[in-house]
Amino acid sequence: MAIFRAHEVHQMSDVELTEQLSKLRLELIQKYAKVSSGGATENPGRIRELKRTVARILTEMNSRRAA
């Protein structure tokens, strides 16, 4: 799953944002589950990137809702 920057998120449609949000949240849950079960992730920085991307998408969705 790709990490999206703010300008990429801004160009996506509402449907794409919703789809990407669900995919990213699923991947984040899987990463957290692996860490909580005592396993080590291949890329620990990936969790931080996922959280930030989810926040970017939610910010864009909220700004569109407000406008």
Q: Model confidence over 22-60: pLDDT tens digits?
A: 999 999 999 999 999 988 878 889 999 999 999 999 999
Across the range 6-24, mean pLDDT stands at 95
Q: Report pLDDT for 42.
A: 82
Q: Which amino acid belongs to residue 17?
A: L
**Rounded-to-integer distance, Cα 8 and Cα 17, Å:** 10
Q: What sign does the dihedral 29-32-34-36 (CA atoms) show?
A: negative
**Rounded-to-integer distance, Cα 40 and Cα 63, Å:** 36
Classify 10 as helix, strand or coil: helix
User: What are the domain boundaries of the chain?
Assistant: 6-66
Q: Which CATH class is domain 6-66?
A: mainly alpha
Cβ atoms < 10 Å from Cβ of 18: 13
